[in-house]
Amino acid sequence: RGLDQTKRCRSSESICVQAREVVVVDEFRTSKKHFDCQTTDDLKNQRVMRKCRDGVVRKVPVHKVLHCLRKHGGCGKSVDRDVNAAKNILSILQNQLTGISEWPLRLRQ
């Protein structure tokens, strides 16, 4: 269950009091590019066989899980979309903090 309104206000006030630095990071394509390998192709949704409402068994995408396809030069691993994006955002942040203005190569188009 989420924080109620009062607790949420208190939480944001304590963040302001602690004077944390906020760094803006563009999250564009961070979930679609694989953190662990250098392929420039997008990750694809993992697909599983499921029985649909009409009773027919079909391959359907699992949006939480992405797959790095070997046939496109990838490593063949399956990754959690959010964890992968978080790792890519961290690498962008590290580049910004070290003065490198460029995105990591795997995130460029």
**17 found inside a domain:** no
Burial of residue 53, with CB atoms counted within 10 A of its CB: 0-12 exposed, 13-18 middle, 19 or more buried: exposed
Average pLDDT, the chain: 81
Q: What is the domain count for the chain?
A: 1
Length of the chain measured in residues: 109
pLDDT of residue 14: 57
**18 found inside a domain:** no
Q: What is the pTM of this model?
A: 0.70
Confidence of residue 27 (pLDDT cuts 50, 70, 90): confident
**99 found inside a domain:** yes
Domain that holds residue 59: 23-107
